[in-house]
Amino acid sequence: MMPSWYLEKPLGDYVAIYTGKSGRKIATEGAAGGGAITSFLCYLLDNGIIDGVVAARKSKGLEGEIVVARTRDDIIKSAGSRWQVLPFTLKLKETIENESLRSMAIVGLPCQINFLRQMKTFPLLETDFSNKISMLISLFCFGTFAQESVLSYVREKYGIEPSSIEEIKISQKALKFIGDKEVEIKFDEITKYMQVGCLLCPDYTGIASDISAGTVEDKTFIIVRNNEANEMLKDANKKGYIEIENVNEIEIERVEKKATEKIKRASSYIAQLL
């Protein structure tokens, strides 16, 4: 059974929720979340709050790679390929240990952010690197797919050879395969190919983050979970990096609805396992 507080607070604790987009100071066309998070990362870097960003971006198909961005150009260039919803925790540790960053922001999935928050809160390991992490930013996540199973399904059902796929675009409701053929497949059709852990995961927004961001019905929502992050976001707004607007109840409900959907999905899969 899922703890009841999940449904009572589907978005976790927060101090503010905004909709946001990139401000006049930064051109981030094509970046995820209307560029809001990319622009905020530029603000953090320009103002000496961080000296680098560690994130995953899509490299090929459903594969991803870790990027370490140390300049504003790096950040914008990387985001042009879209910050991506990809599992990368093992590589992340290796990358952080090998990089000479002192203070970084990490953009990741709710499960990764949760893991890193635990490490920050209970720093037990000798190899712990959490003191280098200044800001944890979570992207909204509804799940990731078991790559080989999806590709084999697409080959059998739609006759698309994996080698002919040039790009896979992930939207809120579907995967679009682009290559010799172009096919859009709704998530409902391929839910069974999601990673098992994702089907059991109740966290849509990343409740352990400092800031969560994601797009729901074409608007980028930014959930701010502590006052320090909120002050930074407001300063970034004042300095033209980002444009934020307060949200109304109806807009909050839209995000809560998505988060609740994920909690219920996890409850139902957990019940099947018991």
Give 88 or 153: the residue with its C-beta nearer to ligand SF4: 88
3-state class of 202 per DSSP? Answer: coil
Please report how close the Cβ of residue 70 comes to ligand SF4 at its closest, in angstroms. Answer: 26
Give 39 or 144: the residue with its C-beta nearer to ligand SF4: 144
Give 203 or 210: the residue with its C-beta nearer to ligand SF4: 203
- Residues at the site binding ligand SF4, with contacts judged by CB under 6 A: 87, 109-111, 141, 143-144, 195, 197-198, 201, 203
Tokens standing for residue 212: 């969560």
The residue type at 269: Y
Give 27 or 196: the residue with its C-beta nearer to ligand SF4: 196
The residue type at 189: E
Give 51 or 65: the residue with its C-beta nearer to ligand SF4: 65
How far, CA to CA in Å, does 63 sit from each of 6, 153, 161, 168, 196? 31, 17, 16, 10, 18
Please report how close the Cβ of residue 199 comes to ligand SF4 at its closest, in angstroms. Answer: 8
Give 67 or 86: the residue with its C-beta nearer to ligand SF4: 86
Enumerate residues 6+ apart whose C-beta is below 8 A from 255. Answer: 11, 17, 205, 214, 216, 221, 223
Please report how close the Cβ of residue 110 comes to ligand SF4 at its closest, in angstroms. Answer: 4
Which H, E and C letters describe 171-183, residue by residue? CCCEEEEEECCEE
Strand ranges of the sheet holding 165-170, from the earlier edge strand across to the other edge: 165-170, 174-179, 182-186
Please report how close the Cβ of residue 198 comes to ligand SF4 at its closest, in angstroms. Answer: 3
Tokens standing for residue 220: 């980028």
Contact criterion met (CB below 8 Å) for 25 and 46: no
Helix 36-46 and helix 72-80, axial crossing angle in degrees, nearest 10: 170
Please report how close the Cβ of residue 272 comes to ligand SF4 at its closest, in angstroms. Answer: 17
Please report how close the Cβ of residue 141 comes to ligand SF4 at its closest, in angstroms. Answer: 3
